Amino acid sequence: MSTTTTLQKAGDPTGEPGSAKPSDGLKAGLKNRHLSMIAIGGVIGAGLFVGSGGGIAKAGPAILLSYLLVGAMVVFVMRMLGEMAAASPNSGSFSAYADRALGRWAGFSIGWLYWFFWVVVLAVEATAGAKILEGWVPAVPQWGWALIVMAVLTVTNLGSVASYGEFEFWFAGIKVVAIGAFVIVGMLAVFGVLPGSDNPGAGFAHLTDAGGFMPNGWGSVLTGVLMVVFSFMGSEIVTLAAGESEDPRRAVTKATNSVIWRIGVFYLGSIFIVLTLLPWNDKSIVDKGSYVAALDSIGIAHAGQIMNVIVLTAVLSCLNSGLYTASRMAFSLGERGDAPKAFAKVSKRGVPVTAILGSVVFGFAAVYFNYTSPDTVFSFLLNSSGAIALFVWLVICLTQLRMRGILMREAPEKVTVKMWLFPYLTWATAAMITFVLGYMVYDKDNRETVMLSLLVAAVVVVIGVLRSALRRKGGVEAVADAAVDA
């Protein structure tokens, strides 16, 4: 088999560096500025703004170590994924690479699990956005706002990939500017040099003045890891979007190389500011939310409403990217014969309409169950998708272990991004992810989530293995029939 033929199977039809023309009917409608902002904003979800207070309450200032551990894990996973995506950009990303490296069953399984994760996220984020909007305009019921938000972003995604890119550019831009401003203003207040600030400007004293840096012991750091890990999901979106960009390899390389400072500034930097502005056990951090409490301590008027606008932007960004990501994964699965063929069809604008509509229908159904059966059906959907982020990262590790050898044999010149200390760091990252999953089983608050996620994953894997077996059997029979006819 020639190198060119092999790379076509991996999603790179031309073999030319920086090829901007996708092989699968999708159009290269994303500009470099779109990809840059998607890469920057991809790691900033609503979970950072809403969920960080609970982590601080559990671990105290040591929550910084939790963010550092998870951040390092994400950096390593993104480096592995960047290596594969830069060599062979593909709308199916890690699912398509798992197809080649681990087998059809693996690509099928992780692709559908990832799709499932994002369509459930659609319901979660639509509901979160609806709650904020209902507070502003109570005349429209919460379910009505959820419907409106979902409908608007569906129309956006159906228009063209450029529409998605433009919306995400501005959504992500607002998040980036907001956090950047928060870090700068907060740092000035920490040292007491912000004009008009109500904060006493205690410097770094709050990191140790309420029971020390690690008031609840090392176990709280691990508990914190479980609480913050899911706020990092989404950093891999840029590798799916790169397949529809003007210069896929350049976009992936740039995103991979910048992930360290993005996590450092937006996650570690902003949480560090919260912890230096307030003692970690200040009740307002949980009652109001960590960022609102920090802004209140500075004396910024209407901090709650300002943060609601930023959180709504993060929610809309997550919804926009979630629908895009789910539809592109469904499209890739359809193209590989692992989903209905209709999912692989694109409109004249290069948009996979059926894949988008199929994804949003499930999202609407999940929203419906969130209002009618929140403690039964929706609770099951939420819990059974909760650990899938970790499954995806683990599969990326295992895939990269095999893909490095494949790429180096067939097209070593395309391996422009390399995982550090291969294969040792890849194995260490896989071990860390496995440890986190194991600790989730041990932790009573997360046990149901990981067990239900494992159950759903097991069902999908069994289906994938059976499909692969039937395919092989059909292929053998076809070869035998051809031999008889000859």
pLDDT at 43: 63
Tens of pLDDT, residue by residue over 92-133, are 889 999 999 999 999 999 999 999 999 998 888 888 889 889
Q: Above 60 in pLDDT, residue 242?
A: yes
What is each CA distance from 466 to 99, 108, 131, in whole angstroms? 15, 11, 43
Measured CA to CA, the distance from residue 310 to residue 293 in angstroms comes to 15
pLDDT at 386: 81
Q: Shortest CA distance to 359 belongs to which of 385, 322, 400, 314? A: 322
What pLDDT band is residue 3 in, cutting at 50, 70 and 90? very low
Tens of pLDDT, residue by residue over 284-332, are 998 888 899 999 999 988 888 888 888 888 888 888 888 989 999 999 9
pLDDT at 198: 87
Name the amino acid, one letter, at 120: V
Higher pLDDT, 27 or 208: 208
| Secondary structure letter of residue 267 according to DSSP | I
pLDDT at 83: 92
Q: Above 60 in pLDDT, residue 482?
A: no
Let me know: does 64 contact 271? Beta carbons within 8 Å: yes
The average pLDDT across 423-452 equals: 92
Reported as half-sphere exposure (CB side, CA atoms, 13 A), residue 199 has a value of: 32
pLDDT at 14: 34
pLDDT at 383: 87
pLDDT at 65: 94
pLDDT at 52: 86
The count of residues in the chain is 486
Widest CA span in the chain: 89
As given in the structure block, the two tokens for residue 233 are: 């999901």
What pLDDT band is residue 237 in, cutting at 50, 70 and 90? confident
Measured CA to CA, the distance from residue 290 to residue 274 in angstroms comes to 7
Q: Above 80 in pLDDT, residue 63?
A: yes
pLDDT at 13: 35
Q: What are phi and psi of 283, to 5 degrees?
A: -60, -25
Measured CA to CA, the distance from residue 276 to residue 445 in angstroms comes to 29
The average pLDDT across 341-351 equals: 89
To the nearest whole number, what is the mean pLDDT of the chain? 85
Measured CA to CA, the distance from residue 97 to residue 19 in angstroms comes to 18
Measured in Å, how far apart are the chain's first and last C-alpha atoms? Answer: 24
Measured CA to CA, the distance from residue 277 to residue 273 in angstroms comes to 6
**pTM for the model:** 0.87
- The 3-state DSSP class for residue 30 equals strand
pLDDT at 484: 45
As given in the structure block, the two tokens for residue 461 are: 């894997």
Q: What are phi and psi of 194, to 5 degrees?
A: -90, 120
